Amino acid sequence: MRVLAFLDGTLADPDEAHIRVDDLGLLRGDGVFETILVTGGTPRELGPHLDRLARSAAMMDLPQPDRAAWERVTQLVIDNWSGGPEIAVKLVYTRGVDGDPNATPTGFALGMEIDEKVKRARVEGIAAITLDRGIDPGLAGRAPWLLLGAKSLSYAINMAAGREAARRGAADVIFTATDGSVLEGPTSSVIVVRGRTLYTPPATIGILPGTTQGDVFRAAERGGWGTKVEPIMVSELPSADGVFLASSVRKLTRMHTLDGAALPDSTAVHAELAELYDAQYR
Ligand code: PLP
């Protein structure tokens, strides 16, 4: 089941072609996107997702997204959904047609089912590997044109990292910086647990501010946990009480193996945090 709606409020057949071949989103990956989890008809963290869409668009000098139109088109997808209980709604906003001085951005929302592999990983956990991203934590500040921390459509590197993980028998990746610190996953934020405190690296090092990470932290704080946003070294991971990848679609996914070595069993920690996170939406 899929539902496609354009930003002007028209529904369209997702099995038909709609995007021009000279759209800059296609030709250059020149655009931004968001993926929102909808459960029980409610989009999770819609406000923070739309905030981040606007932030990514600003970083790329795209026209400011029309927030009300994005809210409407998201709701249109939800209203026309007749599939499973969860929807992954992808919002895509590109620079529009190449070479047209009056080009208007292309914008659409596509509702999709959640991949079975992702659902299984939420329950069973995953093996991951660390991969060098080749950037230092100060680069994002020094070189904003690199768009580190923008959710741009240019995800070829992120997808390549996933294939490298598969070649090495793992399901996912933690990107690392040149100083040996933890960045993020190719499509997720990293959350580390030590005792009763959750840690995640600061977005200023050139990673996406995760909406799920923020949501998990707030839920955990209400449940009595401490939270800290500070640099994490890769060398700290093997002894942590929990290493998790967080994103809208995968929710909070437990890592049981890193670089081929088993991590301490975090099943109980994961169950408690996943319950605090999910309970808000019941
Ligand atoms: N970091 C990257 C690079 C991502 O692509 C994503 C989501 O796709 C995230 C972090 C997690 O963001 P969110 O929790 O808002 O889905």
Question: Mean per-residue pLDDT for 253-280?
Answer: 98
Q: Is the CB of 187 under 6 A from ligand 1?
A: yes
Q: Is the CB of 210 under 6 A from ligand 1?
A: yes
Q: What is the pLDDT of residue 16?
A: 97
Sign of CA dihedral 226, 131, 160, 206: positive
Farthest-apart Cα atoms in the chain, separation: 57
Q: What is the pLDDT of residue 101?
A: 84
Q: Please choose from 247, 250, 277 the residue to mutate so as to test ligand 1's pocket, defined by most ligand atoms within 8 A of CB.
A: 247
What residues form DSSP beta bridges with 32?
A: 93, 152
Among 11, 169, 175, 180, CA closest to 79: 11
* pTM, entire model: 0.97
CATH: 3.40.50.920, 3.90.1300.10, 3.20.10.10, 3.40.50.720. Which one for 119-279?
Answer: 3.20.10.10
What residues form DSSP beta bridges with 227?
A: 198
Query: How many Å apart are CA 219 and CA 190, to the nearest integer?
Result: 16
Q: What is the pLDDT of residue 65?
A: 98
Q: Is the CB of 248 under 6 A from ligand 1?
A: yes
Share of the chain above pLDDT 70, in %: 100
Share of the chain above pLDDT 90, in %: 98
Tokens of 118: 């992702």
Amino acid at 81: W
Question: Mean per-residue pLDDT for 28-55?
Answer: 98
Please state at what angle helix 46-59 crosses helix 67-79, rounded to 10 degrees.
Answer: 130
Residue with the nearest Cα to atom 1 of ligand 1? 188
Q: Is 2-114 assigned to CATH 1.10.10.60?
A: no
The answer to whether residue 102 scores a pLDDT higher than 90 is: no
The band of 165, judged by pLDDT with boundaries at 50, 70 and 90, is very high
Query: Which sequence spans correspond to the domains of the chain?
Result: 2-114, 119-279
Q: Is the CB of 56 under 6 A from ligand 1?
A: no
